[in-house]
Amino acid sequence: MTITRRWACALPSASVPCFAGALALIWVGACWADVVVLKHGGQLHGRQLNPESPSAEVVVIGVEGGGQIRLPRESVAQVISSSAEDDEYAKMRCTCPDTVEGHWNVAQWCAEKGLTKQRQVHLHRILELDPDHEEARRILGYRLVDGAWMTRAEEMAARGLTRYHGEYRSAQAIELREQARQRREAEKEWYKNIRRWRSWLISDKPNRSEPAERNIAAIQDPLAVPALTELLREETVPQIKLLLIEALARVAAQAPAPDRSKPGQKTTPTALYALVDHSLYDLDEEVRLTCLDHLVDLRRPEVTERYVRALKSKDNAEVNRAAAALKALGDNTAIAPLIDALITTHKVQLGSGNPGQTTASFAPDGSGGIGFGSGGPQVVKVPVQNPEVLAALIALSGENFEYRVPDWTAWYAAQRRSSHSIDARRD
């Protein structure tokens, strides 16, 4: 017995069209629209005649022509019941003339009933019968481009664009986005791995500590840097911090230095910056000095720039740490900003605010200020001489004008004039 028939059941067999690909599959099915899904994977099209008896041991399916099929309940996975619109459409499909007008009428009816997929099937059949049917082309999203009908996807493909996550993009743009996606996935994997190894380091199981140290010591992948920097900020155990710093230094040593002949070149030396930040701000002195040792070995220009910016810190201790680092780096391009940072101004809170009380506050180098009580704590700006800045200037310049900023400024201007004069003679 034949369970399913083609859509054109009312036409003579010689006139039944042969559709290609998916369209033919869509049309397959009886004019009755219930679908019985079998557990072994097959399907039957018909009408369930005993839906009111879900506990019955047998499912009775009526098929066209008046026949019945009785199926054991355990062989049926699901019965997908049709709606009234589905039933009416099934009847229309079986009686639809295979003409442009016939399919157009059914397509219009499908539009009214909200049967979008069924409507598209008839519109596609119209185009098989009349490739220049403008209304069907328009509904299906075609446009006339240079004399040829194209869907938007085909038009974009002709321009070299492909749909990617809801937008049309070039192959190059898609490749870049895929690379970014893969990079994000790799970074997430590093977060997971390093956190796991960190837990091994503090585990009570001694056989885990050594593998964890070896794994961290083997890190050289730049994609591990975001995880290393974030976990370093969170870490409180000094020994583990030093392990993470060593890993950052290994990655930084592999990164290419920026090409100064290309001003527009973008670089993100995050490993270097993490080392600089911890050399300035970490509370553990050993951590700060370890970071600085690595940076001195690397000798990268981005490091000098980062420390020069730190000379403008509102924290006087950070200013002096930045100066000490610049002295260790030995980069004389830092001389001018060091002169500017020789004496810096910082806000200091004076006294408890008792009326008439005179208070004073002095920095370790002897600079400071005097305030007078006026009913509340006072914050005043105090000029502070920075000894580490002076030490860096002496080391880089070979001169010592102490804290006399005008003398340093005059000397530096003379040095620049002399340098320009020599360059001019060479030209």
**HEC string for 48-100:** ECCCCCCCCCEEEEECCCCCEEEEEHHHEEEEECCCHHHHHHHHHHHHCCCCH
375 assigned to some structural domain:
yes
DSSP per-residue codes, 204-260: S-HHHHHHHHHHHHT---GGGHHHHHHHHHH---HHHHHHHHHHHHHHHHHSPPP-T
- Taking alpha carbons only, the member of 107, 108, 53, 103 closest to residue 76 is 53
> For the whole model, what pTM was predicted?
0.58
Mean of pLDDT values over 220-235: 94
In a domain, 427, yes or no: no
CA angle 46, 89, 113 (to 5 degrees): 135
Residue 348 lies in a domain: yes
| pLDDT band, residue 33 (cuts 50/70/90) | low
Query: What domain range includes position 351?
Result: 344-385
- Is residue 20 domain-resident? no
Q: Is residue 3 pLDDT above 50, yes or no? A: no
| pLDDT score for 261 | 56
* Token representation of residue 106: 């059914």
Yes or no: say if 343 and 404 are a contact pair by the CB < 8 Å rule: no
Q: What pLDDT is attached to residue 263?
A: 47
Within-domain flag for 105: no
Residue 336: its H or E element: helix 335-340
d(CA 146, CA 249): 59
Q: Which two tokens stand for residue 80?
A: 């997908």
What's the total number of domains in the chain? 1
Q: What is the pLDDT of residues 88-117, one digit of tens each?
A: 888 888 889 999 999 999 999 999 999 999
Least confident residue range of 83-87, 162-166, 326-330: 83-87
Backbone angles phi, psi at 62, to 5 degrees: -90, 135
In this predicted structure, what is the pLDDT of residue 166?
Answer: 83
Q: Confirm whether 211 is domain-assigned.
A: no
For residue 368, being part of any structural domain is answered with: yes
- Encode 222-240: b = buried (16+ Cβ within 10 Å), e = exposed: bbbbbbbbebbeebeeeeb
SS3 151: strand
Other C-beta atoms lying within 10 Å of the C-beta of residue 192: 11
> Quick one: average pLDDT of 275-302?
93
**Rg (the chain; Cα; Å):** 40
- Angle of helix 316-329 relative to helix 285-298, nearest 10 degrees? 40
pLDDT, tens digit, 9 for 90 and up, residues 293-332: 999 999 888 899 999 999 999 999 999 999 999 999 999 9
| For residues 127-131, average pLDDT | 93
pLDDT tens for 342-381 read: 999 888 777 655 554 445 444 444 445 445 455 567 888 8
- Asked whether residue 366 is domain-assigned, the answer is yes
Amino acid at 142: Y
* DSSP β-bridge partners for residue 47: 62
Pairing of strands 68-72, 58-62: antiparallel
